[in-house]
Amino acid sequence: MSIELSRNYARDLDERDELASFRAQFINIDPAMVYMDGNSLGRLPAQTPQRVEQIVREEWGEKLIRSWGINWFNAPIQIGEKIAQLIGAGTGQVAVSDSTTVNLYKLAMSALMLKPERKKIVTDTLNFPSDLYMLQGCSHVLGGKHHIQMLEPADGLRVDTQRVLDAIDDDTALVTLSHVVFKSGAMYDAKTISEYAHQKGALVLWDLSHSVGSVPVELDEWGADFAVGCTYKYLNGGPGAPAFLYVRRDLQSQAISPIWGWYGQRSPFSFELDYSPAEGIQRFLTGTPPVFSLLSIEPGVDLLLEAGIQRLRKKSIQLTTYMIDLFDASLADMGFSLGTPRDANLRGSHVSLRHPDGYRINRALIEEMNTIPDFREPDNIRLGMTPLYTSFQDVWESVDRIKRVLSEKRNLHFAETRLKIT
Ligand SMILES: *Cc1c(COP(=O)(O)O)cnc(C)c1O
């Protein structure tokens, strides 16, 4: 066995990892568990329970309604400003609000209303289904005159850039894609696509759910118009934490949310009877935010800002490359194929391993091997590598445990019937 395949080699990599100390900044109740699903639900930052306790006891229990004026009312914008630093957005363009799905609706509708004469929406079949449902909903609400062109990737990973460009024409109102694709982890060339869409007079909306906190995002530099993304994945904001949205500054005066709530009104506390949208990003807010979840986002974001996106990206590439090397050496001949691009420049921070019996292998990993990836139809086992806390030994262990599931035929202990939640 070559040294690169040994567990000791993984240990050496961990010893040389400049971000290694961040692992201790997260709650880790069971050190034997290998958690490879930070791309679906990030771990709990060690600071968060104290912060939640403070919100409950001090800010709610003691200060009561006064907390709205102290730090609650403006939190969607203030926390948005912190997230902005992770996605290359200058001030005044990002806010935290609602869910990713609802934000996508607000921004897609804004875009379509800005291009009333155009009838085409370009996306792909690998987009997160909720995004596609939202686009169908937008089209429905607007009278069904829009055509949604869902490009099909030839390689199952992502659509070739040229094919995306070819689909954008003079009738295209909106191009919207997940920057990092949720199944394959493949990454789109956002700058090229955004620039070309603008040449054709179309608007662009990026879903950054699998990008934020794991890969460099440069919304201002790309010239993106709109973006949305999750806070409970790589940002470690906690289950159901509200999402963020970005609207480019020079669009803000024309773009309008389709949901007219008091939080987006020019002067929320004047309680005027007629709606008049606030200046700036505030107009994309809707109603009272979920304060506990909203404020709980901050400790995770602070850790990412401290680590810095360049160092995070560097480690993420090392982790995913290491996973692919181990895959080539020991899993490729066990019926697996790689469901993620080999070129590190074309991938985010998870690796998908495809196997005809992927569903049952994934079940066996979770229930018998204390290893938590997730499964996405039809055959993807997704292994998320969160550069803040995933170690090289986690990568080594997960490959070793996958091998053991197959050599010990543990996948056969489970039924093919899908559980409701995978
Ligand atoms: C996780 C994810 C979402 C989640 O949307 P919710 O509204 O939070 O359920 C949306 N889009 C993409 C691409 C995702 O990966």
Please tell me which residue in 233, 283, 360, 410 is annotated as part of the active site. 233
Higher pLDDT, 154 or 420: 154
Test site for ligand 1: of 125, 130, 132, most ligand atoms within 8 A of the Cβ: 130
- Provide the pLDDT confidence category of residue 60 given band limits of 50, 70 and 90: very high
35, 232, 234, 322: the active-site residue = 232
Instruction: Identify whether 119 is part of a domain.
Output: yes
pLDDT tens column, 146-200:
999 999 999 999 999 999 999 999 999 999 999 999 999 999 999 999 999 999 9
Q: Do the beta carbons of residue 81 and residue 281 sit within 8 Å? A: no
336 and 289 inside one domain: no
User: How do residues 122-140 score in pLDDT, each as one tens digit?
Assistant: 999 999 999 999 999 999 9
Q: How far apart are CA 183 and CA 180, in angstroms?
A: 9
> What percent of the chain is modeled with pLDDT above 70?
99
What is the predicted pLDDT for the residue at 271? 85
| Within-domain flag for 420 | no
Q: How many helices (H) and strands (E) does the chain have?
A: 14, 13
- The domain boundary residue, chosen from 254, 282, 305: 305
331 in any annotated domain: yes
- Please give the distance, rounded to the nearest whole angstrom, from the Cα atom of residue 120 to the centre of ligand 1: 23
Active-site residue 207, yes or no? yes
Q: Tell me: do 246 and 316 sit in the same domain.
A: no
What CATH code is carried by the domain that includes residue 176? 3.40.640.10
Q: Are residues 175 and 198 in the same domain?
A: yes
- Ligand 1 atom at minimal distance to the Cα of residue 103: 7
Q: What is the pLDDT averaged over residues 49-78? A: 98
Q: Among the atoms of ligand 1, which is closest to the Cα of residue 100?
A: 7
The last residue of one of the domains, among 270, 305, 340, is 305
Do 206 and 324 sit in the same domain of this protein?
no
* Same domain assignment for residues 121 and 19: no
Distance CA 209, CA 83 (A): 12
Active site residue 191: no
Partner residues linked to 337 by β-bridges: 354
Q: Are residues 137 and 212 in the same domain?
A: yes
* Alpha-carbon span 421 to 230, nearest angstrom: 19
Is residue 9 annotated as a catalytic residue, yes or no?
Answer: no
Span 317-334, average pLDDT: 96
Residues 6+ apart with CB under 8 A from 267: none
Respond yes or no: is residue 382 known to be catalytic: yes
Peptide bond between residue 378 and the one before it cis (omega within 30 degrees of 0): yes
Report the distance separating Cα 121 and Cα 129, nearest Å. 15
Ligand 1 atom at minimum distance from 127 CA:
13
367-383 pLDDT, tens digit each: 999 999 999 999 999 99
Q: Is residue 419 part of a domain?
A: no
Report if pTM > 0.85: yes
In a domain, 422, yes or no: no
Can you say how many angstroms the Cα of residue 299 is from the centroid of all Cα atoms in its chain?
17
User: Which of these three, 248, 279, 305, is where a domain ends?
Assistant: 305
The answer as to whether 157 is a domain residue is yes
- Residue 1, pLDDT > 70, answer no
Tell me, what CATH number does 20's domain have?
A: 3.90.1150.10
| Whether pLDDT at 69 is above 60 | yes
pLDDT per position as a tens digit, 273-321 = 999 999 999 999 999 999 999 999 999 999 999 999 999 999 999 999 9
Q: Which atom of ligand 1 is nearest to the CA of 131?
A: 11
Specify whether 232 is catalytic: yes
| Same domain for 225 and 354 | no
Q: Are residues 371 and 313 in the same domain?
A: yes
35, 74: one domain: no
Q: What is the pLDDT of residue 419?
A: 87
Q: Is residue 329 part of a domain?
A: yes
Q: 269 in a domain, yes or no?
A: yes
Residue identifier of the C-alpha nearest atom 4 of ligand 1: 100
Strand partners for 343: none
Separation of CA 348 and ligand 1 centre (Å): 16
Residues 332 and 296 in one domain: no
Catalytic-labelled residue, pool 98, 207, 225, 379: 207
Pocket lined around ligand 1, Cβ cut-off 6 Å: 99-101, 128, 130-131, 178, 182, 207, 209-210, 230, 243
Question: Based on the structure, what is the number of domains in the chain?
Answer: 2
Which of the following is catalytic: 248, 363, 382, 410?
Answer: 382
pLDDT of residue 2: 64
User: Which tokens in the block code for residue 389?
Assistant: 């806390």
Ligand 1: atom nearest CA of 210 is 15
CB distance 257 to 324 below 8 Å: no
State the residue range of the domain holding 124.
50-305
Q: How far apart are the first and last CA of the chain?
A: 35
* Amino acid identity at 257: S
Asked whether residue 245 falls in the same domain as residue 334, the answer is no
Same domain, 232 and 84: yes
Residue 3: band (very low, low, confident or very high) from pLDDT cuts 50, 70, 90: low
User: Among candidates 387, 243, 237, which has minimal Cα distance to 310?
Assistant: 387
Residue keyed to tokens 């010239």: 223
